[in-house]
Amino acid sequence: MIAFVSGTVAALAPDSAVVEVGGVGMAVQCTPDTLSTLRVGQSARLATSLVVREDSLTLYGFADDDERQTFELLQTASGVGPRLAQAMLAVHRPDALRRAVASADEKALTAVPGIG
């Protein structure tokens, strides 16, 4: 697993950032909140989770380890893949998401695009 990437932000897109690490540009999928903290040309450190599929390797980036751990935990639920887990974190902070799941807060959970 790649636990984190640390380097200079080389580029930003609506759903990802490229972080230059040792001369290599690492494409990292991020939530809008995480992306809003990044600036091209500035250094950044993102906690990451590498998702390996038959046809792709996708690196997901997070503001901190709590977000990353929540992302990984969400994927243990049936029907929740990395994109839905990331969408959930785009709508709710990890602590709010844990409360919504623990209390079966249907309204909070269905606020996430793709759930409902």
Q: Which of 98, 68, 94 is nearest to 82 (CA)?
A: 68
DSSP at 101: H
User: How far is 33 from 87, CA to CA, in rounded Å?
Assistant: 11
Q: Do residues 7 and 21 make contact, with C-beta atoms less than 8 angstroms apart?
A: yes
What pLDDT shows up at residue 115? 82
Confidence (pLDDT) at 112: 87
d(CA 16, CA 48): 12
The domains of the chain are located at 4-109
> Distance between CA 34 and CA 38 in Å, rounded?
7
- pLDDT-wise least confident of 10-14, 75-79, 112-116: 112-116
Amino acid (one-letter) located at 39: R
pLDDT in tens, 26-39: 999 999 999 999 99
User: Which numeric CATH code is attached to 4-109?
Assistant: 2.40.50.140
* Phi, psi torsion values for 19, nearest 5 degrees: -110, 125
Global confidence as pTM: 0.90
